[in-house]
C-alpha cells in the first residue's frame, strides 16, 4: 500500500474526489495486488497489475473489447467489470513505475469456501450461463493472454525439467514429486481430448473467490478477474469450480486429514453448470466435465510444486513453504477425486440424463 498513489490517481481519473480518499488492501488474489479506494460516497478497486505474469496487456484489452461489444446485444444477469479508462483513454495508469487499473467496486461478498450447496449451484449456474452467453464468439478469435495457460502436458513437462535441475529433495518433496510424475495417464487422456473438444470462450480462473455474490448470498452479482478470459475448454471452467468448491478445505489448508471431495456439492455444481451448457455441449464435452476437476487440480498441483522448486517466483506466498503445502493440498484432493470417479460418473449420468 502506498499513500503517494493518490495525487497521480486523482490526476488520471478526474472523477475521483481529490481529498479524503482512503486506501486499504483487499482480497485474496495471488497475482495482482488489489486495493480498495474509498471516497465519501463511493468505492473503487485499484489493482496493481502484475506485468511479470501478464506480458500482453493489449491482448487482454482486445478480448475484453470483444466481450464488451457482445454485451451490447446480449444481456447477462450479472456484471463483468471492466477497467475504467483514465483521462488519456487507457485502462492502465503508470504510478511509480508500476501499472494500475481502476474498477468500480461491486457491493457484495466473496467466499473462499461455500457455506451451503445452494451457493455451489449459483456459482456454477453463473459460469454455465456465461459460457452459453458467449457461444457465438469464436474461442479461436480470442487472443492468448497467457500462452499455454492450461496446457496440462506442458505444465507436466515443466515440472519434469525443473525437478531434474534441482539436486537435493527432502523425502516428502520426493514423495510429492513422484505422485505428480505418476499422473501420466491423465495427461494422455487430456492430450486425446484437446484434439476433440471445441474451443469456447472460457474464464479460465473460475475459483470461487472470483465471483461476487449479493450481500445476502442469494445471487451472483459479478464475475471478476477477467484477464485469463480466452479460448479454452468447458472442462477448465467447470473443473476449477470442482477444484475450489467441492473440497472440504481451501487450497491454503494444511489440515491434511480434512481435505476431501464432497460428492453432494459436485451434484449441485453439475446441476448449475449443466443448466447453462446443456444446449451447446457436444457429447465429448459433456463427458469431459467429469474429469475437469482432476485436470484443474493436477494443473494447480504441478504449478504450485514447480513454483516451490523454483523458489516461489510466481505465486504470492505468506511463508516460504506455502507453495509446497499448496501442492500437497492439491495432491490429497486429487487422490480423493480419483477415488470417487465411479461415484462422480453416476452423479453426472443422473444430472445430465446422458449415459457415460
Interface residues toward ligand GN1, by CB under 6 A:
29-31, 53, 205, 207, 210, 225, 228, 251, 300
In this complex, which beta carbon is closest to ligand GN1, that of residue 29 or of residue 39? 29
Residue among 132 and 210 whose Cβ is closer to ligand GN1: 210
Q: Nearest approach, Cβ of 1 to Mg ion (angstroms)?
A: 18
Give the Cα separation of 114 and 213 in Å (integer).
11
31 binds, among Mg ion, ligand GN1, none (CB under 5 to 8 A by kind): ligand GN1
Residue 286 or 300: which CB sits closer to ligand GN1?
300
Looking at the Cβ atoms of 232 and 351, the one nearer to ligand GN1 is 232
User: Shortest distance, CB of residue 79 to ligand GN1, whole angstroms?
Assistant: 17
Determine the interface stretch with Mg ion among 53-61, 219-227, 296-304, 312-320 (rule: CB under 5 A). Answer: 219-227
- Exactly one of 125, 163, 210, 297 binds Mg ion (CB under 5 A); which one? 210
CB of 148: closest distance to ligand GN1 in angstroms?
12
Nearer to Mg ion, 32 or 155 (CB): 32
Residue 237 or 251 having the CB closest to ligand GN1? 251
* Beta bridge pairs of residue 313: none
Distance between CA atoms of 265 and 271, rounded to whole angstroms?
10
Q: How far is 19 from 78, CA to CA, in rounded Å? A: 32
**In the complex with ligand GN1, which residue's Cβ is closer, 323 or 352?**
323
Determine the 3-state secondary structure of 21 from DSSP: coil
Whole-number minimum distance, CB 31 to Mg ion, in Å?
7
Closest distance to ligand GN1 from the beta carbon of 291 (Å): 17
Contact between 265 and 114 (Cβ < 8 Å)? yes
The region of 4-12, 178-186, 223-231, 282-290 touching Mg ion under the rule CB under 5 A is: 223-231
Q: Contact at 8 Å (CB) between 197 and 190?
A: no
d(Cα 115, Cα 209) in Å, to the nearest integer? 13
* Cα 216–Cα 218–Cα 220 angle in degrees, nearest 5: 105
CA dihedral 179, 313, 203, 57 (to 10 degrees): -150
- What are the Cα distances from residue 171, in Å, to 52, 167, 168, 331? 32, 13, 9, 16
Residue 226 interface partner, choices Mg ion, ligand GN1, none, CB cut-off 5-8 Å depending on type: none
Residue the block writes with cell 498513489? 5
User: For the purposes of burial, counting CB atoms within 10 Å of the CB of 89, is it exposed (0-12), middle (13-18) or buried (19 or more)?
Assistant: exposed
Which residues, 23 to 52, sit near Mg ion by CB under 5 A?
29
Rounded to whole angstroms, how far apart are CA atoms 89 and 274? Answer: 39
* From the list Mg ion, ligand GN1, none, partner contacted by residue 300 (C-beta under 5 to 8 A by kind): ligand GN1
Residues facing residue 212 across a β-bridge: 222
Q: CA 166: distance to chain centroid?
A: 29
Q: Provide the minimum distance between the beta carbon of 53 and ligand GN1 in the complex, in angstroms, as a whole number.
A: 5
- Which residues here bind Mg ion, judged by CB under 5 A? 29, 210, 225
Amino acid at each position: 500500500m502506498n499513500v503517494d498513489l493518490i495525487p497521480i490517481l486523482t490526476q488520471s481519473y478526474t472523477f475521483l474526489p481529490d481529498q479524503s480518499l482512503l486506501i486499504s488492501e483487499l482480497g485474496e488474489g495471488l497475482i495482482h495486488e488489489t486495493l480498495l479506494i474509498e471516497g465519501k460516497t463511493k468505492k473503487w478497486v485499484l489493482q496493481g497489475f502484475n506485468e511479470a505474469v501478464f506480458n500482453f496487456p493489449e491482448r487482454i484489452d482486445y478480448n475484453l473489447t470483444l466481450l464488451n461489444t457482445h454485451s451490447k446485444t446480449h444481456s447477462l444477469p450479472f456484471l463483468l467489470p471492466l477497467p475504467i479508462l483514465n483521462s488519456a483513454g487507457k485502462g492502465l495508469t503508470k504510478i511509480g513505475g508500476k501499472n494500475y487499473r481502476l474498477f468500480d467496486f461491486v457491493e457484495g461478498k466473496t467466499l473462499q469456501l461455500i457455506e451451503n450447496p445452494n451457493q455451489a449451484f449459483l456459482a456454477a449456474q453463473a459460469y454455465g450461463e456465461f459460457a452459453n452467453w458467449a457461444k457465438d464468439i469464436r474461442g479461436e478469435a480470442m487472443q492468448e493472454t497467457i500462452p499455454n495457460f492450461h496446457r496440462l502436458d506442458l505444465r507436466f513437462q515443466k515440472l519434469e525439467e525443473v525437478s531434474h535441475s534441482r539436486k537435493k529433495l527432502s523425502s516428502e518433496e520426493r514423495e510429492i514429486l513422484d505422485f505428480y510424475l505418476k499422473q501420466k495417464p491423465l495427461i494422455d487422456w487430456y492430450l486425446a481430448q484437446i484434439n476433440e473438444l471445441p474451443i469456447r470462450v472460457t474464464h479460465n480462473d473460475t475459483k470461487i473467490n472470483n465471483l461476487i455474490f449479493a450481500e445476502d448470498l442469494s445471487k451472483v452479482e459479478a464475475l471478476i478477474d477477467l484477464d485469463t478470459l480466452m479460448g479454452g475448454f468447458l472442462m477448465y471452467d467447470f473443473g476449477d469450480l470442482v477444484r475450489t468448491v467441492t473440497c472440504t478445505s481451501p487450497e491454503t489448508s494444511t489440515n491434511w486429514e480434512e481435505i476431501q471431495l464432497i460428492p453432494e456439492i459436485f451434484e449441485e455444481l453439475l446441476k448449475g453448470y449443466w443448466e447453462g451448457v446443456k444446449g451447446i455441449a457436444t457429447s465429448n464435452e459433456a463427458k469431459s466435465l467429469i474429469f475437469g476437476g482432476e485436470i484443474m487440480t493436477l494443473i494447480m498441483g504441478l504449478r504450485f510444486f514447480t513454483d516451490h522448486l523454483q523458489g516461489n517466483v510466481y505465486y504470492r506466498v505468506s511463508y516460504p513453504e506455502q507453495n509446497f503445502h499448496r501442492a500437497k493440498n492439491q495432491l490429497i484432493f486429487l487422490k480423493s477425486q480419483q477415488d470417487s470417479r465411479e461415484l462422480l460418473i453416476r452423479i453426472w449420468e443422473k444430472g445430465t440424463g446422458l449415459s457415460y
